[in-house]
Amino acid sequence: MQGGIGLLGVGGGGGGGCNGNESGVSKVVESDDDELELGLGLSLGGVGGGGKGKVVSSWGECGRILTAKDFPSAGRRPSNASSSSPPVAVSGTKRAANSVPREGESSPPSASQVVGWPPIGAYRMNSLVNQAKAPISEEEKVADEKDKSKDASKKKICNGNKTNNIFSEKAHLGFVKVNMDGVPIGRKVDLNAHASYESLAQTLEEMFFASTPAINSIGGEKDLATKAFKLLDGLSEFVLTYEDKEGDWMLVGDVPWRMFISSVKRLRIMRTSEANGLGPRFQPRNDRQRAKPV
Amino acid sequence: MESESKRKKESPNTAELAVTASFPDEVLEIVLSLLTSHRDRSSVSLVCKDWYRAERWSRTQVFIGNCYSVSPEILTRRFPNIRSVTLKGKPRFSDFNLVPPNWGADIHAWLVAFAAKYPFLEELRLKRMAVSDESLEFLASNFPNFKLLSLLSCDGFSTDGLAAIATHCKNLTELDIQENGIEDSSGSWLSCFPESFTSLEVLNFANLTSEVNTDALERLVSRCKSLKVLKVNKSISLEQLQRLLVRAPQLEELGTGSFLQDLTARPYADLESAFNNCKNIHTLSGLWEAVPLYLPALYNSCANLTFLNLSYTALQSGEFAKLVVHCPRLRRLWVLDTVEDKGLEAVGSNCPLLEELRVFPADPFDEEIIHGVTEEGFVAVSFGCRRLHYVLYFCRQMTNAAVATIVQNCPNFTHFRLCIMTPGLPDYLTNEPMDEAFGAVVKTCSKLQRLSVSGLLTDLTFEYIGKYAKNLETLSVAFAGRSDRGMQCVLEGCPKLRKLEIRDCPFGNEALLSGLEKYESMRSLWMSACNVTMNACRRLAKQMPRLNVEVMKEDGSDDSQADKVYIYRTVAGPRRDAPPSVLTL
């Protein structure tokens, strides 16, 4: 997926995230500064004659512009060159298929269609993409990562052999998407922040069924055990399902939690009527799940 | 070392300069050497020839905001005693891939000049410069007193160059490598610091990825007793961090490595105690992949924190709120928008001293997330943090009313950078342009120095800016405006404008040419994807010989259009190192 990211490190774009300069010691670079007064009155530099170089556009060949195409969530057509037409009248620009149009006017171009926008430095962009990645198997990771040292450090963390922690060694997988039938806009949930199905279900119910979501609290797990969850008990109109690494849709709750989070790719809150094909227990799939050492 | 012997004394004029003639140059130099501000020094140098001379001999630090505005020869000729140089190179939009690769800003010619004229150079701070390994090796070998190297957003070098610095710079006190396009082949550079080397005070390699030898790092940290700033990279685990902290309790700024590890009870307690022992930590960053479980280890350290950088940590609102309760002294906070409005409410409630807030998007391209942060979070912070003066805020929706409230609460903004991520998005409640929002900002915040605008904007925004933003120095504009009039208002109105960067706006030749004289009082102008033609640029270049007018063409574009224009004042004439894609007119 991150095929293009590797190119970023070379040449043009090593950029701080919007003048990111966090060190207090180096502050002089960013704080109120003024340039060397050129003393234009006192010592005029030579007046250069205009260069008459030929205009050779090598821009297109010198490495690839990173566009939204390189990011996992972007499924729209990105533009590879800045548009030269004024985008103020936004109807002229292409709309993303999923964007929600506002009343009475066409939807503005989405952030993913424009080069260099939003203005986040290349370095930061790189880091964010790696953080928000969907979980992938060990093999896929090896194939995907171009930078073997990054790979090495990830592996190092993953191969930790402690057994009595509540997070699996893959807890860094982070966010997965959640869609609910009938709701056009999906959400993302951080599986990192949960240690049980109940905790996850509570968060999802707050996200999709409640109007004022409560702050998710890790310490509240004791209360969760006794609560009834619409999404897990199979009795309500909706049921929680997930897509695993093989692309199969499974009912959430069948397998141990750690096994679940090592194989889940995304979640879907499905109408119970549509979930019939999955069945309450889907045995044949269970033994195809590769048990990850946890 | 103040080289009196080299000075050529001019015979002083008698009558008019009787006052200054009674003031020996040596004294004048000593007095002037107390001036540190560059602006003050520039003013002083313009008073008269004697003062110009005294100033140039006494200046030891120089700041060059655009490396092409002056040449190494001119610099070294004017200032003979420089020990510290700060250089900035590429236009800021290079951070967003809008500048072609190999654009320039190579440090090497400067280093060669410095080796000849400033052999006692001690400090070099570079931003957006092209730096090669050869240059770093040259630097390491030619400046025996070299102490401080800071590279921010530079590119072109690898860890081999760092190895040269570590090996040869015996007096190094600071090595700060941030957000560079670096080829990170191995972490062995860290092991190149000799065992006899003890002078390090600042070490920041947080943005490198390779593993370093942790034993070497531990020994380095142990023997550098003056180490105040340590920012490690992701490859350093929590246990390794704990061992480092134990060896450096005097640390003031800490960047952790990966905050994710399976810790049993005992190592966790050790970690917590190591943090508690570092009583001087006021800046905390890193926290890569932080698992909320381990954050409580930081709680005691948070009491003294003034700067917390969580911009690489995807915390949700609950766990973030729990953390921020422990940070009452916070002045600067960088977060990801995963903390959402609720997290920002917690900031408003707990951090009354906050002066700077930056909220970055965790997933800028995902259209499906409608949360992240909204105007509510920003408003909540403004109610609780009345000292707020610096904000960088990425959001997906905003209203004019919210911004008006915000600046009413916090009228002291010096830096207001609002990025509504969908280009051209109006006020989502009223569907009106965001003109009144930025109008409120410039009307209320008289100290405003830097402004970035976004959302749907007409020329009215720029009328407001031109009329009210009297202290504005830097303006960034994208996908805004209706006609040339917008840009003209700014050029005619903002007396202190130094940097103007514009992309994808309907400003054309008339706007460009309305700023002729203005550009000489500015550092630079960037315009890309606007309506500017080559002919207009040529006209500008012809009329203003002290400006460099550079045009970057894109593949397949109309020959008459100037796709990207970069204009800057210079005393060095047109540059000779431009790549073929950059045309100097």
Q: How many CA atoms lie within 13 A of B19 on its CB side?
A: 3
- H helix or E strand, kind and range, residue B487: helix B484-493
Chain A positions touching B560 (Cβ under 8 A) are none
- Is pLDDT above 70 for A280? no
Which parts of B232-353 fold into alpha helices (H)? 238-247, 265-277, 299-302, 317-324, 340-350
Nearest CB partner across the interface for A83, out of B94, B504, B559:
B504
- For the sheet with A249-251, list strands across it: A187-190, A175-180, A264-271, A238-244, A249-251
Asked if A23 lies within 8 A of B229 by C-beta distance, the reply is: yes
Between β-strands B390-395 and B356-360, what pairing exists: parallel, antiparallel or unpaired?
parallel
Length of chain B: 585
At residue B379, the pLDDT reads 98
* Domain assignment present for A188: yes
Q: Does A10 fall in a domain? A: no
Partner-chain residue, chosen from A38, A117, A131, that has the shortest CB–CB distance to B571: A38
Say how far apart CA A162 and CA B264 lie, in whole Å. 7
- Residue B211: both structure tokens together: 């593993």
Question: Is beta strand A187-190 parallel, antiparallel or unpaired with respect to A175-180?
Answer: antiparallel
Among A61-75, B56-70, B106-120, B283-297, the range scoring the smallest mean pLDDT is A61-75
For an interface test with A, give the residue of B92, B175, B179 to mutate (most A CBs within 10 A).
B179
User: Tens of pLDDT along A44-57?
Assistant: 333 333 333 333 33
CATH number of the domain where residue A237 is located: 3.10.20.90
Average of per-residue pLDDT across A8-12: 34
Q: Which residues of chain B are within 8 Å of residue A97 when distances are taken between CB atoms?
A: none
* Spatial separation of the C-alpha atoms in residues B126 and B88, rounded to whole Å: 6
Query: Which among B327, B332, B328 has a CA at the least distance from the CA of B355?
Result: B332
Contact flag B181-A13 (C-beta cutoff 8 Å): yes
Q: What is the pLDDT of residue B115?
A: 97
What type of residue sits at position A255?
V
Q: Which of B20-24, B150-154, B539-543 has the lowest mean pLDDT?
A: B20-24
With CA atoms as reference, the chain A residue closest to B562 would be A84
B525 vs A37, which has greater pLDDT? B525
- A221 falls in which pLDDT band (50, 70, 90)? very low
pLDDT above 80: residue B234 = yes
User: Which residues constitute the domain of residue A191?
Assistant: 175-212+227-271
* pLDDT band at residue A252 using 50, 70 and 90 as cut-offs: confident
Q: Given this model, what pLDDT does residue B260 score?
A: 78
- B450 with B424: CB under 8 angstroms? no
The torsion angles phi and psi of A152, rounded to 5 degrees, stand at -60, -40
Q: What's the pLDDT score for residue B188?
A: 93
Q: Give the residue carrying structure tokens 């070998």.
A: B141
More confident residue, B36 or A92: B36
Residue A18 lies in a domain: no
Q: Confidence band (pLDDT; 50, 70, 90) for A223? A: low
Chain A partners within 8 Å of B308 (Cβ): none
Q: What confidence tens digit (pLDDT) does each residue in A58-101 have?
A: 333 333 444 444 444 333 333 333 333 333 333 333 333 333 34
| Burial call A47-60: b when 16+ CB within 10 Å, e when fewer | ebeebeeeeebebe
Q: What is the pLDDT of residue A149?
A: 39
Q: Among the listed ranges A134-148, A270-284, B361-375, which one has the minimum average pLDDT value? A: A134-148
Percent of chain A with pLDDT over 90: 1
Mean pLDDT (whole number) for A275-279: 63
Find the residue in B nearest to A104 (Cα).
B431
Q: Is residue A255 part of a domain?
A: yes
Which one of B210, B366, B503 has the shortest CB-CB distance to A73? B366
Contact A36 B584 (CB under 8 A): no
Element (H, E) at A266: strand A264-271
**What's the mean pLDDT in B72-80?**
95
Cβ-in-10-Å burial (0-12, 13-18, 19+) of A223 comes to exposed
A199 located within any domain: yes
A-chain CB neighbours of B204 within 8 Å are 23
C-alpha A39/C-alpha A23 separation (Å) is 32
A60: in domain: no
Mean pLDDT value of segment B205-221? 94
**Is B169:B196 a contact under the CB 8 Å cutoff?**
no
Residue B22's pLDDT band, with cuts at 50, 70 and 90, is low
Q: Which helix (H) or strand (E) holds B253?
A: strand B253-255
**Mutation for B interface: A21, A88, A187, A216, most B CBs within 10 A:** A88
User: Cβ–Cβ of B571/A53 closer than 8 Å?
Assistant: no
CA distance A256 to A246: 18
Evaluate if residue B179 carries a pLDDT over 90: no
B514: distance to nearest CA of chain A, Å? Answer: 20
B293 with A218: Cβ contact below 8 A: yes
What one-character DSSP code corresponds to residue A161?
Answer: -
Q: B234 to chain A: which residues are within 8 Å by CB?
A: 153
Q: What is the DSSP string of B465-483?
A: HHHH-TT--EEEEES--SS
Q: Measure Cα distances from B54 to A252, A256, B403 in Å.
A: 77, 77, 49
Rounded to the nearest integer, the mean pLDDT of chain B is 92
The number of folded domains in chain A is 1
Which residue does chain B place closest to A105, by CA atoms? Answer: B431
Q: pLDDT band at B451, cuts 50/70/90?
A: very high
Q: How confident is the model at residue B261 (pLDDT cuts 50, 70, 90)?
A: confident
Residues of B in contact with A102 (CB under 8 A): 426, 428, 431
Give pLDDT, residue A199: 83
* Percent of chain B residues topping a pLDDT of 90: 77
Residue A193 corresponds to which amino acid?
Answer: A
Chain B residues with beta carbon closer than 8 angstroms to that of A124 = 179, 311, 360
Contact (CB<8Å) B503/A111: no
Query: Looking at the domain assignment, is residue A201 inside a domain?
Result: yes
Contacts of A172 in chain B (CB under 8 A): 260, 289
Residue B276: per-residue pLDDT: 93
More confident residue, A190 or B540: B540
- Weakest-pLDDT range from A208-217, B76-85, B156-165, B221-230: A208-217
pTM of the model: 0.72
pLDDT on residue A92? 32
Q: Average of pLDDT values for A5-12?
A: 34
Cβ atoms < 10 Å from Cβ of B196: 7
Closest partner CB to A190 (pick from B66, B125, B314)? B314
- Rounded to an integer, what distance in angstroms lies between the CA atom of residue B70 and that of residue B62? 12
Task: Give tens-digit pLDDT for A98-129.
Answer: 333 444 444 555 655 678 899 998 888 877 76
Model confidence at B413, pLDDT cuts 50, 70, 90, reads: very high
Residue type, A58: S
> Which residue in A26, A53, A149 is closest to B210 by CB distance?
A149
Cα separations in angstroms, B42 against A85, B114, B366, B416 = 42, 22, 48, 28
Cβ atoms of B172 and B147 closer than 8 Å: yes
Q: How many CB atoms lie within 10 A of CB B482?
A: 19
What pLDDT is stored for residue B103 in this prediction?
94
- Residue in A47, A96, A115 closest to B545 by CB: A47
Give the Cα separation of B271 and B258 in Å (integer). Answer: 13
- Cα(A135)–Cα(A1) distance, integer angstroms: 12
Among the partner-chain residues B42, B179, B423, the one whose CB lies closest to the CB of A16 is B179
Given a cut of 70, is residue B126 above it in pLDDT?
Answer: yes
d(CA B129, CA B66): 10
Give yes or no for residue B245 having a pLDDT over 70.
yes
Mean pLDDT, chain A, rounded, equals 54
Structural tokens at position B420: 């509504």
Which residue among A33, A156, A172 sits closest to B63, beta carbon to beta carbon? A33
B409 CB neighbour count, 10 Å cutoff? 17
Q: Which residues in A lie closer than 8 A to residue B182 (C-beta atoms)?
A: 9, 14
Could you give the domains of chain B? 433-447+459-584 (3.80.10)
Q: Is the dihedral of CA B248, A30, A17, B385 positive or negative?
A: positive
Contacts of A95 (CB under 8 A, 6+ apart): A101, A106, A107, A109, A110
Kindly tell me if the per-residue pLDDT of A188 is higher than 80: no
* Residue A293: half-sphere exposure toward Cβ, Cα within 13 Å: 7
In a domain, A86, yes or no: no
Judge: A35–B574 Cβ closer than 8 Å, yes or no.
Answer: no
**What per-residue confidence (pLDDT) applies to B99?**
92
Instruction: State the residue for tokens 């509540």.
Output: A166
Contact at CB, B369 and A188, closer than 8 angstroms:
yes
A38 vs B70, B100, B260: nearest CB: B70
Give the gap in angstroms from C-alpha A78 to the nearest C-alpha of chain B: 11
Q: Do B479 and A63 touch (CB under 8 A)?
A: no
> CA torsion B214→B220→B226→B231, rounded to 10°?
-30
Highest average pLDDT, of A32-41, A140-149, A161-170, comes from A32-41
Tell me which chain B residues have a C-beta less than 8 angstroms from the C-beta of A185.
368, 370
